[in-house]
Amino acid sequence: MLPITVTLPITVASWLLLTVRLLRFRTTLVERRFNMLLVTVTGILTTHEPTLRSELSALTGGRLSIGLIYQFGAIGFMFSTAASLLVAAAMLGRVQSAALVYGLAGVSCAVGMLCSGPAQGPSPFTMYEQPGWGQFGFWLALAPLSYWMVFYFGRVCIAEMRTQHARRERALHATVLGAGCTVFLMFSLTFVSTALRALGHESWLTRAQLVIDNNAVFFQALPFLVIGAVPVAAWLIDAIGLDAWSRRRKRLLPLWFDLTKACPEIVHRTSTPVAAHHSRYFLHRTVIEIRDSVLILARYATPTPAELRAAITASARTTPEREALDLAVRLVRACAAKTRGDVPTGAGSMHHCAGDNLVEEAAQLAAIAAQWSRAHALVADPAISAAARA
């Protein structure tokens, strides 16, 4: 049996993931159906986790025995099968009635319980220890929907693997397909084992089936937990500003702060959108406000003194660095002129190539922002200022 140090963390992680997804991810049909799948998977993990199973039995005063709770896990498997079918249908764009699929799962479970009866007992394997053909009938009732789910989900994974070019995506779908194949093999093994027990034959195969039945669910659940955790991780990264869009914006903030301080009239002050890509919106807005500030400050631009141009050339090691530093120096001087209240010199310009997209635009402005502190130092250098006045 797997140690509690493995089973308990997986089950607790499933509960935490389920809580976050139910609170934050329920907009689309696929999200809602995946959440329902996660509900059933979490329930099955709970019925198979020894510590939680014992605590649940104790909380009910033993009315829910260990054996009955474990049997509820088998029933939960049927509803996870139904949820998987609905997720696969949503991913394929097929219309499947949730009421019909869950209704079939409910009927299958009812027929199965009529065949086997409740498995009240102190052992999790009570349902397998009952004499006769009841357990074979239980699993036979669950078979049609289970095999339908495996083949249907397999079609989705194969279709996705054919269209995906990213190795990570293909590997993820291959893992899910592998989990579906293990369900197929486990179900078939359970069929054979329950038939052997009904005939009175105990062997290494029936003993192996008990071990696999009790432990395999923790491995089968992992791909679904990973899939469910990906958008949660992306949301958390976005929320704390560690996504790529936020990192690009942070590089622009020193430049943005000084430019908008000199040109406060261009700052967009409406409410921010509550959207999935709000960090991209903030970057876009920051780029626009920097651009608008540059257009205003161009009217305050004056020729750079020769001494300052020489200092720029001496400070820069490459041509792109020199061009970025030169523009940064002109912007620093223009900011100072506007802040002092100088009269605009006219319709000046600060030539700067625009990027073809937001990423390129942000990268070009980031090159200027990287020279911003150096530009301030050059403009404020007393020796350069004295030479320029002389």
Residue 385's pLDDT is 60
Say if CB 214 and CB 191 are below 8 A apart: no
Count of Cβ atoms closer than 10 Å to residue 182 Cβ: 16
* More reliable by pLDDT, 142 or 240: 142
Query: Do 117 and 19 fall into the same domain?
Result: yes
Provide mean pLDDT across the span 271-290.
Answer: 78
Domain span including residue 90: 4-240
Last residue within a domain, chosen from 240, 256, 290:
240
What are the angstrom distances between the C-alpha of 188 and each of 44, 93, 282? 19, 30, 54
pLDDT over threshold 70, residue 353: no
Domain count along the chain: 2
Q: Are residues 136 and 14 located together in one domain of the fold?
A: yes
pLDDT of 16 reads 96
- 276: pLDDT strictly greater than 60: no
CA trace torsion 164, 169, 174, 175 (10° rounding): -170
State whether 202 and 318 are in the same domain: no
Together in a domain, 148 and 167: yes
The answer on 76 and 151 residing in a single domain is yes
Identify the CA nearest to 369 among candidates 259, 284, 282.
259
Residue 36 has pLDDT above 90, yes or no: yes
Whether residue 305 sits in one domain with residue 180? no
82-125 per-position pLDDT tens digit:
888 888 778 767 777 888 889 988 998 899 888 888 888 888 88
Same domain for 231 and 363: no
CATH number at residue 233: 1.20.1070
Taking the C-alpha atoms of residue 291 and residue 372, their distance in angstroms, rounded to an integer, is: 16
Q: Same domain, yes or no, for 207 and 271?
A: no
Find the helix packing angle between 319-340 and 358-370, rounded to 10°.
80
Judgement on whether residues 263 and 192 belong to the same structural domain of the protein? no
Of 185, 214, 240, the residue at which a domain comes to its end is 240
Looking at the structure, do residues 9 and 105 belong to the same domain, yes or no?
Answer: yes
Q: Lowest-confidence range among 4-18, 238-252, 268-282?
A: 268-282
d(CA 249, CA 125): 57
- Residues 148 and 297 placed together within one structural domain of the fold: no
Residue that terminates a domain, selected from 240, 270, 287: 240
